[in-house]
């Protein structure tokens, strides 16, 4: 009798140990937790690992609230792994109201999948939610008339979109707006105000660099050893050394898509020479090229200014162009950019 009681006690104890309190949590609480996790994920795998854990987490992980809170890191999809399932996942996030998903999928459709109408519509959807990168990308499209003809350029609309993105803190938009004001491009010329915005963009870039994990991880190392450059020199008159900014997943995808050969750039079409951009031309001579060497092309003044001090300043050689073209007209319809350094001033023709 005592043996039977002892056996029943052991069985009851085992059953209690097997009780999973997770099953007792309401769906609302689990959904809120998953939404927090999706908003702070550091890579797509962080979110995918949640979905493959169990059926309940898979169901709740695809809840509209969770998808609407997903951060840009969740959409950091490698170009080589692009598939229909990745496309469907982005569309589900778009339908859930995620602005980052709208922008990322819009960039992919506009430049990679050659669907400019749908891509621009998705970027506009993100822009209406005050998504700064989407506003700046639409400004670049307006400046170049991308997806259409040269007559589709709308410089004033581009400046207005840049101003809105700059107001929201987008550094590239602020730099672009500064160049537009300085050169009178799409707006009334105001050299002093343009110069002020360029210096402000540099100051924000410095502040962002000092807050970056790369800078912080090297801080104590620099205190214990001689200073070693950990990034690129700041694109300003300050002469500081800061880490290079991390690319947005959309720009990283464009760069990998065309570099890997997954997407072929059309005949006589060129990629923006700035390594952190990835945008291709949508028609011949859409981008303007350096009027000194004629070998590099840029989608915007901001990209040209960034690449000038990062790389092209040391490579630009006007002699090669004079020998190749033998005095021929270099403006093939796309316009030119004359790289004349004056601090942060870069003059355009």
- For 166-186, what is each residue's pLDDT tens digit? 999 999 999 999 999 998 999
- Determine the pLDDT at residue 247: 85
Can you tell me the mean pLDDT for 269-290?
89
Q: What mean pLDDT is predicted for residues 94-106? A: 95
What pLDDT is stored for residue 319 in this prediction? 56
Report the candidate in 50, 49, 101, 113 with the shortest Cα–Cα distance to residue 76.
Answer: 101
C-alpha to C-alpha distance for 236 and 196, rounded to whole angstroms = 12
Query: 279-298 in b/e burial notation, b at 16+ Cβ within 10 A?
Result: bbbbbebbbbbbbbbbebbb
Quick one: which of 273, 329, 334 has its CA closest to 304? 273
Per-residue pLDDT, averaged over 324-334, amounts to 45
Higher pLDDT, 105 or 333: 105
pLDDT of residue 303: 87
Question: CA 290 to CA 296: how far, in whole Å?
Answer: 6
Grade residue 218 by pLDDT with cuts at 50, 70 and 90. low
pLDDT band at 343 (very low <50, low <70, confident <90, very high): very low
Under the banding of pLDDT at 50, 70 and 90, the label for residue 197 is very high
- Give tens-digit pLDDT for 19-55: 567 778 888 999 999 999 999 998 899 898 988 888 8
For the cut 80, the answer to whether the pLDDT of residue 18 exceeds it is no
The mean of the pLDDT values for the chain is 80
Rounded distance, CA 106 to CA 129, Å?
14
Angle between helices 99-107 and 249-259 (to 10 degrees): 20
**pLDDT given at position 122:** 95
pLDDT reading at 138 higher than 90: yes
């Amino acid at each position: 009798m005592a043996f039977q009681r002892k056996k029943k006690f052991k069985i009851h104890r085992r059953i209690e140990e097997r009780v999973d309190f997770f099953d007792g949590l309401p769906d609302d609480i689990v959904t809120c937790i998953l939404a927090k996790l999706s908003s702070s994920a550091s890579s797509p795998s962080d979110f995918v690992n949640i979905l493959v854990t169990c059926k309940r987490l898979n169901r709740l992980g695809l809840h509209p609230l969770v998808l609407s809170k997903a951060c840009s890191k969740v959409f950091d999809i490698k170009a080589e792994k692009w598939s229909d399932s990745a496309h469907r996942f982005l569309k589900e996030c778009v339908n859930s109201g995620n602005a980052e998903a709208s922008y990322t999928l819009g960039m992919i459709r506009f430049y990679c999948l050659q669907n400019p109408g749908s891509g621009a519509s998705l970027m506009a959807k993100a822009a209406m939610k005050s998504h700064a990168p989407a506003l700046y990308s639409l400004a670049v499209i307006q400046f170049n008339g991308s997806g259409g003809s040269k007559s589709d350029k709308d410089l004033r609309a581009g400046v207005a979109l840049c101003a809105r993105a700059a107001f929201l803190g987008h550094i590239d938009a602020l730099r672009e707006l500064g160049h537009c004001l300085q050169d009178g491009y799409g707006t009334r010329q105001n050299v002093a105000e343009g110069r002020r915005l360029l210096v402000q963009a540099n100051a924000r870039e410095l502040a962002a660099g000092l807050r970056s994990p790369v800078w912080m991880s090297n801080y104590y190392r620099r205190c214990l050893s001689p200073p070693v450059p950990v990034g690129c020199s700041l694109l300003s008159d300050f002469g500081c050394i800061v880490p290079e900014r991390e690319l947005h997943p959309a720009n990283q995808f464009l760069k990998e898509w065309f570099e890997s050969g997954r997407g072929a750039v059309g005949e006589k079409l060129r990629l923006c020479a700035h390594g952190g951009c990835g945008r291709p031309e949508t028609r011949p001579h859409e981008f303007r090229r350096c009027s000194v060497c004629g070998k590099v092309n840029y989608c915007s003044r901001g990209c040209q200014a960034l690449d000038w001090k990062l790389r092209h300043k040391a490579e630009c050689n006007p002699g090669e162009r004079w020998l190749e073209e033998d005095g021929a007209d270099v403006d093939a319809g796309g316009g030119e950019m004359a790289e004349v350094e004056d601090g942060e001033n870069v003059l355009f023709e």
